Amino acid sequence: MNNKKPNTLPVYQTFILDHDWHLRIVGFFIGIFMMAIYLWMAAGLINLLLTLYHSFPDKWSHGAEIMIKDIVIILASLELIRVFQAYLFMGRVKVTFILDVALVVLIGELISLWYREYSMSEVFMSIFVVSVLVVLRIVTTKFSPDCSES
């Protein structure tokens, strides 16, 4: 009796290591990246509070400028951790998550233009890029193959 299934294709190994080992190694490195980002964010928060404390009585506007920039960077870091977590849980990264990170970073750049000398072309270019990213975010959300968007 022949136990072979008809029309079955041979299975080839595409990874150097076993698939489970590959997932473990990638998860390990992403975990290290996430821990580094968490530590960097904690140091940034401490630096933010110290800068705010030292600039309170005399240089409040300068301290507020630094605070706003630091908070936007911390928010971008949180979005990056969200991308890492999505990769760990789903095994892939959604385009919407990448667009969220880009939007937070570019909006932070747009806010930082407020506090320095800038040309109108820089402002219009930044607004154009942010607008395009917002449109892309809306389109990717609307036409996403996933039923539930987080």
Does residue 99 contact residue 136 with C-beta atoms inside 8 Å?
A: yes
pLDDT at 17: 66
92 CB contacts (<8 Å, ≥6 apart)?
86
pTM higher than 0.95, yes or no?
no
Per-residue pLDDT of the chain (150 residues; tens, 9 = 90+): 555 555 666 665 665 667 777 788 888 999 999 999 999 989 988 988 888 787 777 777 777 777 888 888 888 888 889 888 888 888 778 888 888 888 888 888 777 777 777 788 888 888 898 899 899 989 988 887 765 544
pLDDT at 11: 60
Does residue 19 contact residue 26 with C-beta atoms inside 8 Å?
A: no
Does residue 130 contact residue 110 with C-beta atoms inside 8 Å?
A: yes
Instruction: Give the DSSP per-residue string, 67-125.
Output: HHHHHHHHHHHHHHHHHHHHHHHHSS--HHHHHHHHHHHHHHHHHHGGGS---HHHHHH
pLDDT at 100: 86
